[in-house]
A and B are shown apart, each in its own frame.
Chain A
Amino acid sequence: MRTQYLFDRQTVLVLSILAAAAILVPAMNGLVPPGSALHLSDHLVPLLGKYVCLALLALSVDLIWGFCGILSLGHGAFFALGGYAMGMYLMRQIGPRGAYADPILPDFMVFLNWKELPWFWHGFDWFPFAALMVLLVPGALALVFGWFAFRSRVTGVYFSIITQAMTFALMLAFFRNDMGLGGNNGLTDFKEVLGFPVQAGSTRVVLFVLSVLVLAGGYLLCRWVVGSTFGKVLVAVRDAESRTRFLGYRVEHYKLAVFTLSAMLAGVAGALYVPQVGIINPSEFAPANSIEVVIWVAVGGRGTLAGAILGALLVNAGKTWFTAALPEFWLFALGGLFVFVTLFMPRGILGAAGDLWERSSRRLRTRRSPQPFTQAAE
């Protein structure tokens, strides 16, 4: 089928670019001698790795917003929860190398005069358990939250507002020392991940490559989901929710399934992010962060998956450049981007490019593939 062919085309492109990144970045960092114009300095590797994790987060937002019309303004919460799960593992790996040299308790607990490890910290010294929690904690929150919300048909902006309240409440909670997760300072001063020193250049290259592979995997997973009949039902829900209901689909089950899947993807993104930036703290829950993710997706082109990746990379690269060169103007630029994209580029870069493509190919064909996108969403 023609639709299948198109999917392959985009997928192949995305995968080739990701593969190139996974090969070129280690090569330019490790093989090209420093001083060469093509050399990638050590500090850029974790920065690029960070972008890749944020792209995965954007992908997870696009999956629900672009294809099911669910605008979550709290996806940063799932990202942060995945990050905390990984952070807890990394904290336990510090062992007696902390400032207080306690073999079990992380520094902040010693500082707070705690005598034993809180119950929910047990098991995190074992990587497979921590990895499982990276998926399960965000997934469980999404499942419970979504079950309540979708069952009572909270939709549109109402859903957006309560997701925002959710991440805000979590932020307040994580700021508390009593929460047992480092309070204000969060979790940091990591030493090792799976026995490799976190700060070492080689570890960072490996983490980068791993992030790229996971992003590629996430992309393929999303592609497969939206290409299936399940994905068609999602688009149906996005465009005509009650019609879908009257056709006999349990809309809330679909929303719940995709929301939970998306939260898990966001959690994985957070887990990969933490060892590369070296810290996770409650500010990751800030509502502003979650809204920013949405604009990455909008810039790249919502409902295209590849656009989410593109948007996340572009906006974050822009952010890095601005905050170094013109820090005063970054918020103007970001704010302007929000306005510009919603007003003039509602379908984002890929959407606009797709329009051009379609216009030129229209002369040749009358048949068209489904464009998983609408301008009106609720």
Chain B
Amino acid sequence: MIVLRKFLRAFLLLLGMASAALAGPYEEALPRFTSDSYADTDAAIGAVAASGNPLAVDVIEALRDGRLLVGSGQVFIRRASGDLINAATGQAWGNPAGELKPVRLNNRVRRAIEAALGSLTLLNPDAAKRLEAARAVFRSRDEAALPALEKAIAQESHVPVRNALETARAAILLSKQDAPPTQKLTAVQTLRDRSDQEALALLSNLPAHAPPEVVAAAGKAADGIRARLAFWQAFQNVWYGISLGSVLLLAAIGLAITFGTMSVINMAHGEMVMLGAYTTFMVQELIRSYFPGLFGASLLIALPLAFLVAGSVGVLLERTVIRFLYGRPLETLLATWGISLILQQGVRTIFGPTNREVGTPAWMSGALDVGAMSLTYNRIAIVVFAFSVFAILLLVLRYTSLGLYVRAVTQNRRMAGSMGIRTSRVDALAFGLGSGVAGIAGVALSQIDNVSPNLGQGYIIDSFMVVVFGGVGNLWGTLVGAMTLGIANKLLEPYAGAVLGKIALLIAIIVFIQRRPRGLFALKGRVVEA
């Protein structure tokens, strides 16, 4: 298979480089690698790439990876396996004579390598490789690649690759001094259609030699792209906002339960999130050591465990400390703050103060492109996850008996108690539920934040803001609060900067609470007043 593919590639390259002679340029170019001069290496790359020799790709890839060795006037490729082959002949070379040194690289050489590989792989049968190659050519803007590019465009049937190839050609044409203005105008057109940040950069940085009509067309096209990008940027910001909102929702929703039902200010809530994140870390460590195949499922395995770990700590906390402090919210606040210090220091003692590495499963890496927006899969996963947790929690509170009891206790503790609901048990369970949900949030946040003993601290103030803004005792309020704060934060950021935006938002919430002390969706009536 590989042999066949190599053969095919060589064949196509031969077609592409019609001018290349069969014997000569490649062999002639090779010795220039041995001269230990960047200029020679650069020239050799161009010559090798243009030679059409089947070994050309291997040579340049080896050069890129530092596996192209020279010694006693000859050039060798070291395979990944460690075997040496003679670059000139492709024969194995078991017994190197004398000392071999890798060919040295600098940035100019690296650019040449990228351009050369780009043009060499433009005809690769693998569409993904071709796309990558087209992008490499686009970035390098190497005029030498133009013939290969033309050839590739003529053959290309895969639309995204073809688009990429055309963009690359347009980029080269625009920077090529002697290209005819009509071609340049077409290039402007192509770039306008591509209409992304790179195209904009190209169009707004035309070389000085560009003819005036091209400059005018490019200016117009650039304006168009800017407008389009601004349009998409707004969506992108909203998306970032939703994504941040989801993070806030995850962090705050457990708090909404404990604060809402028991009016307990749990300052250790952030540490429950942290415990969830560390549970994820532990699960991944175990999987890495014993079941490497399960790594893709590590987060799914971590979810129930994180719920259990954080939930049990929550129940323990409720039973040993908080239940003695009901009706004394300020004291509860202080005691739970003490617990948060203990948990932080405990984790710091066990796991060390530094950040712990939590891996991202393969299925969560990468991004989805929508228009000019890029939605990374891990953010999408977190948004979906946050909404799922919200929905499940809503269902739990709506349709289970625990939910019924919790709602009863939230609305009127004394009445619920006299109706035979064991409020203290409901408290413990609700506290466990809220803490467990925080643990689950920790699993998700381990994907986007540093897993360190301070993880929880960063969320506690924001979470309180969300809950207080949304209104206590109302999950929908928490949802709206989280999303509003998330989106407002991200929409403010471009204008005010991250820090000022955050300050502005904090002030806005402080003012808001003073306007509506009970939040956006407050329970009303006599019960609350009492």
Interface residues of A (CB under 8 A from B): 71, 73, 145, 148-149, 151-158, 160-162, 164-166, 168-169, 172-173, 175-176, 287-288, 291, 294-295, 298, 328-329, 331-332, 334-339, 341-343, 346, 375-378
Q: Are A339 and B329 within 8 A (Cβ)?
A: no
The main secondary structure of chain A at its interface with chain B is: helix
Given contacts A148-B511, A295-B334, A331-B345, contact A173 B503 (CB under 8 A): yes
Contact with A along B356-387 (1 / 0, CB 8 A): 00000000000000000000000000000000
A15 to B324, CA, bound (A): 37
Q: Does B65 contact A (CB under 8 A)?
A: no
Q: Does B327 contact A (CB under 8 A)?
A: yes
Q: Are A338 and B334 within 8 A (Cβ)?
A: yes
Cβ contacts A to B, 6 pairs, < 8 Å: A148-B511, A148-B514, A162-B514, A168-B461, A332-B342, A334-B341
CB distance from A342 to the nearest CB of B (A): 4
CB distance from A63 to the nearest CB of B (A): 16
Q: Which 4 A-B pairs have the closest CB atoms?
A: A338-B338, A335-B341, A335-B342, A331-B345
Q: Are B329 and A156 within 8 A (Cβ)?
A: yes
Q: Are B506 and A168 within 8 A (Cβ)?
A: yes
- Shortest Cβ distance from B510 into A: residue: A162
**Chain B residues within an 8 Å CB radius of A298:** 334
**Chain A residues within an 8 Å CB radius of B340:** 335
**Chain A residues within an 8 Å CB radius of B345:** 328-329, 331-332, 335
**Chain A residues within an 8 Å CB radius of B337:** 291, 335, 338
**Chain B residues within an 8 Å CB radius of A164:** 461, 464
Interface residues of B (CB under 8 A from A): 263, 265, 267, 321, 324-325, 327-335, 337-342, 344-346, 348-349, 457, 461, 464-465, 468, 499-500, 502-503, 506-507, 509-511, 513-515, 517
Q: Are A331 and B342 within 8 A (Cβ)?
A: yes
Q: Are A172 and B499 within 8 A (Cβ)?
A: yes
A156 to B259, CA, bound (A): 13
**Chain A residues within an 8 Å CB radius of B346:** 332
**Chain A residues within an 8 Å CB radius of B335:** 338-339, 342-343
**Chain A residues within an 8 Å CB radius of B341:** 331-332, 334-335, 338
**Chain B residues within an 8 Å CB radius of A73:** 333
A334 to B327, CA, bound (A): 24
Q: Are A377 and B331 within 8 A (Cβ)?
A: yes
A335 to B334, CA, bound (A): 9
- Shortest Cβ distance from A148 into B: residue: B514
A223 to B297, CA, bound (A): 64
Q: Are A165 and B338 within 8 A (Cβ)?
A: no
Q: Are A161 and B464 within 8 A (Cβ)?
A: yes
- Shortest Cβ distance from A242 into B: residue: B529
- Shortest Cβ distance from B461 into A: residue: A168
A43 to B342, CA, bound (A): 31
**Chain A residues within an 8 Å CB radius of B509:** 162, 165
Q: Are A342 and B325 within 8 A (Cβ)?
A: yes
CB distance from A78 to the nearest CB of B (A): 16
Q: Are B327 and A376 within 8 A (Cβ)?
A: yes
Q: Which of B328, B329, B333, B338 contacts A375 (CB 8 A)?
A: B328
A333 to B461, CA, bound (A): 24
A160 to B267, CA, bound (A): 12
| Supplied contacts A149-B514, A336-B342, A339-B321, 7 more A-B pairs, CB within 8 Å | A157-B330, A160-B333, A162-B468, A334-B338, A338-B335, A342-B338, A377-B328
Given contacts A175-B499, A342-B331, contact A152 B342 (CB under 8 A): no
- Shortest Cβ distance from A165 into B: residue: B506
Given contacts A156-B329, A328-B349, contact A165 B342 (CB under 8 A): no
A335 to B503, CA, bound (A): 29
Q: Which of B329, B342, B464, B499 contacts A176 (CB 8 A)?
A: B499
Q: Are B321 and A343 within 8 A (Cβ)?
A: yes
**Chain B residues within an 8 Å CB radius of A291:** 267, 334, 337
Given contacts A161-B468, A328-B349, A331-B341, contact A156 B330 (CB under 8 A): yes
**Chain A residues within an 8 Å CB radius of B342:** 331-332, 335-336, 339
Q: Are A335 and B325 within 8 A (Cβ)?
A: no
**Chain B residues within an 8 Å CB radius of A336:** 338, 342
Q: Are B517 and A153 within 8 A (Cβ)?
A: yes
- Shortest Cβ distance from B331 into A: residue: A342
Q: Are B502 and A172 within 8 A (Cβ)?
A: yes
**Chain B residues within an 8 Å CB radius of A175:** 499
**Chain B residues within an 8 Å CB radius of A343:** 321, 324-325, 335
CB distance from A348 to the nearest CB of B (A): 12
Q: Are B499 and A335 within 8 A (Cβ)?
A: no
**Chain A residues within an 8 Å CB radius of B332:** 342
- Shortest Cβ distance from B468 into A: residue: A161
- Shortest Cβ distance from B498 into A: residue: A172
**Chain B residues within an 8 Å CB radius of A158:** 468, 513, 517
**Chain B residues within an 8 Å CB radius of A378:** 328-330
Q: Indicate the member of A149, A154, A166 with the most B CB atoms within 10 Å.
A: A154
Given contacts A154-B513, A342-B334, contact A169 B329 (CB under 8 A): no
A176 to B340, CA, bound (A): 28
A367 to B468, CA, bound (A): 45
Q: Indicate the member of A153, A287, A338 with the most B CB atoms within 10 Å.
A: A338
**Chain A residues within an 8 Å CB radius of B263:** 157
A160 to B324, CA, bound (A): 21
- Shortest Cβ distance from A343 into B: residue: B324
Q: Are B330 and A71 within 8 A (Cβ)?
A: yes
CB distance from B483 to the nearest CB of A (A): 19
CB distance from B419 to the nearest CB of A (A): 25
CB distance from B478 to the nearest CB of A (A): 15
Given contacts A328-B345, A331-B341, contact A376 B328 (CB under 8 A): yes
**Chain B residues within an 8 Å CB radius of A148:** 510-511, 514
CB distance from B331 to the nearest CB of A (A): 4
A155 to B348, CA, bound (A): 35
A342 to B267, CA, bound (A): 14
CB distance from B258 to the nearest CB of A (A): 12
CB distance from A91 to the nearest CB of B (A): 23
CB distance from A175 to the nearest CB of B (A): 7
CB distance from B215 to the nearest CB of A (A): 36
**Chain A residues within an 8 Å CB radius of B324:** 343
Q: Are A335 and B513 within 8 A (Cβ)?
A: no
CB distance from B353 to the nearest CB of A (A): 10
CB distance from A19 to the nearest CB of B (A): 33
- Shortest Cβ distance from B259 into A: residue: A157
**Chain A residues within an 8 Å CB radius of B517:** 152-155, 158
**Chain B residues within an 8 Å CB radius of A160:** 265, 330, 333
Q: Are B339 and A335 within 8 A (Cβ)?
A: yes
Q: Are B325 and A165 within 8 A (Cβ)?
A: no
A287 to B465, CA, bound (A): 14
A287 to B321, CA, bound (A): 23
**Chain A residues within an 8 Å CB radius of B465:** 161, 165
CB distance from A77 to the nearest CB of B (A): 12
